[in-house]
Structure 1
Amino acid sequence: MPNYEYLDEFAGLPVVVAPDTDQRENFWWLVEERARVDKPDPTLDDYEEAYQTARADPGAFAWRLQLPAYGGEAIFRDLFLRFVDEVDTTKVTALIAGYWDFGESSAHEPVGLLVEHADRFPALRALFLGEMVQQECEISWIQQCDVAPLLAAFPRLEELWVRGGNGLEFPATRHEALRRLVVQTGGLPGVLASDLPALEHLELWFGVEGYGCTTEFDDLAPLFEGEVFPNLRSLGLCNAEWGDDLVRALADAPVMERVRALDLSSNALGPDGGEVLASAPVFRGLDSLTMDYHFVPEPVLERIRQALSGVALDLSEPEEYFVDENGEPAYYPGLTE
């Protein structure tokens, strides 16, 4: 799941942490988090050495700005201003705005700071707004805001990731350079109404109605019909309650004439959807199909493997369904809250 652990790499670059004013506390949080997911346990010296190494070559790293999740009195503005003061941000190409605060605080502050200091980041090409792991903040709790000012302030931005849907606004806008857009949330505010002529990769995570999903299946019609994003080649439709319906729609969707990489991870996708994947000719033209987390039984998976023998497949993490109160099999997305 996308919020179980931090990214080690972003926009093709290794991630380095910009420490806050109480940097030892922040580093301790990172050490504990990496240990929780069974990664090598770094020391405080490891983080401090990595920071100093990255300062010497800022463009070779993706920089994560985040506060410690527990304790501490640092505020995001202080962290940001210290980063701009200590690092040659004119060379920074990739930036992650991580945990900024819990509760009522929203992305207004990091967005406002980035817009205000946009001239300090002339080389910025990739931005992740809201990379928070589950132990910091559930996706449905993250307080987002209008991201249109970011796109306006960074007209050369090529990659934008957004996590969290509360308060998220993505009004219809035009951006000439954006090539990759990832929205890990339950809503679909304005994305499909935007004019993004360079967009090659679109990845949408939908979630469940009880935790903020505002997207209905019919909202995706312009995407299926191929009416938007003429350069789209890679499509991720993930973490939906209606996974089987997604596959049925894609089997006859004009957009699939140009999509070569399809990601259906974490959907409530069962044997019916699996049979469509195995039988519909359109999926045989893919270069890759990712179905990480699903409810497709092994016999159907084998039919998919045989039918899509020329496609690079990731059919990992098959799940067991449970039986509801009516005795019917029930499937659920991988990420709910």
Structure 2
Amino acid sequence: MGVYQHLTEFAGLPVAEFDFETEEDAELPPAAGHAWAVRTSFDEESFEQVWSRFRAAVDTTAVTALVIGYWGASYDEHDADPVALLTEAAADFPALRALFLGDITGEESEISWIEHSDITPLFTAFPELERFEIRGADGNEGEIRLEPIKSAALKRLRFESGGLPARIVRAIAASDLPNLEHLDLWLGTDTYGGDATMADLEPILTGERLPSLRHLGLEDSETQDRVAEAVAGAPVVARLESLSLAMGILTDAGAEALLSGQPLTHLRRLDLHHHYLSDTMMDRLRAALPGVEVNLDDRQETHSDGWRFIAVSE
């Protein structure tokens, strides 16, 4: 699913919806076996009220996966801090292993307008969390915060953003995540706060603090060529099974760096979709990586005025 549809599946489970339209006497599916999405809508019942009704109606002790949708905004009549609500209720969710924070579509809020707070307390409140995914990073407002975390349980970490602040990248790079297998970072554009540099990414690219990493995604970047150049010599790549440099402004220069760098023939998958590569370069990539599934879909054309665009920004 993209950023314009709500999730219908999460953590291998079908999503069950609980929102402002869910009636008190509604017949609900079993708590176990579903990823529960809790959300409201603009100027409807407050998220806090929906959340309270959800906790009363569903056996939260059996919930293993949660999807948090629209919770209001500073310009809305109702606003909530989902992190505070989640951490306060942590004892009621002993089986929680997967959390998606911000299943909010473009019609509800543009990705760079989604307002977050400090998400660090979530990892203390839910120490057994194996999967954490988040959408949005407040653009240039600077509200989203993360301190370096320690977790032996976390296996999958994903940040979807039109502009991921460097402070978040640095916090991830400084975290102790010995069993993390899957890391996705949508780096975005500086216009919406994506100011991470190659120096910020370097600790991730060395792989020293990520011994179990098997998938790395450094995506949606307006400096995708520079990211490709850094990845071409990154020690972490040698133990990856899949690599994604998709959704950004990848040109022949970045692809040339990949071909000239360390071998990528050990990869199962290389995702470069949404790119600005020439036909010749696409042919060279396929020829150089015959046993690798290379995704070269969604080729973009440079605008007549020279502009190129990442897949997701505002």
TM-score of the superposed pair, with normalisation by structure 1: 0.85
8 Å contact 1:108–1:144 — kept in the other structure? no
Q: Deviations over 1:231-274 (max 9, x none)?
A: 11110101111111111111111111111111112111011122
Q: What's the RMSD between the two structures over aligned residues?
A: 2.1
1:58 is matched with: 31
1:146 to 102, 118, 133: 118
Deviation for aligned residue 1:323: 4.0
Structure 1: which 5+ residue stretches go unaligned? 25-47
2:85 is matched with: 113
Written as runs of structure 1 = structure 2, the 5 A alignment for 1:223-242 is 223-242=204-223
- Residue 68 (str. 1) matches residue 41 (str. 2): yes
- How far, CA to CA, are the matches of 2:203 and 2:286 in structure 1? 30
Deviation for aligned residue 1:86: 0.4
Structure 2: which 5+ residue stretches go unaligned? none
1:187 to 154, 165, 176: 165
1:6 is matched with: 6
- Residue 335 (str. 1) matches residue 312 (str. 2): yes
8 Å contact 1:283–1:308 — kept in the other structure? yes
SS at match of 2:283: helix
8 Å contact 2:250–2:275 — kept in the other structure? yes
Deviation for aligned residue 1:322: 1.7
Percentage identity across aligned positions?
A: 38
Q: Deviations over 1:60-97 (max 9, x none)?
A: 1111111123x42x111111111110011111111011
8 Å contact 1:107–1:143 — kept in the other structure? no
Deviation for aligned residue 1:213: 1.3
Written as runs of structure 1 = structure 2, the 5 A alignment for 1:3-152 is 3-20=3-20, 22-23=21-22, 52-54=27-29, 57-69=30-42, 71-72=43-44, 74-103=45-74, 109-152=81-124
8 Å contact 2:217–2:244 — kept in the other structure? yes
SS at match of 1:140: helix
TM-score of the superposed pair, with normalisation by structure 2: 0.91
- Residue 252 (str. 1) matches residue 233 (str. 2): yes
Q: Which amino acid aligns with 2:15?
A: V
1:165 is matched with: 137
Deviation for aligned residue 1:226: 2.1
Total equivalences in the alignment: 304
Q: Which amino acid aligns with 1:302?
A: D
Stretch of structure 1 that moved more, 300-309 or 274-283:
274-283
8 Å contact 2:47–2:79 — kept in the other structure? no
Structure (1 or 2) with the greater helix fraction: 1
Q: Which amino acid aligns with 2:18?
A: A
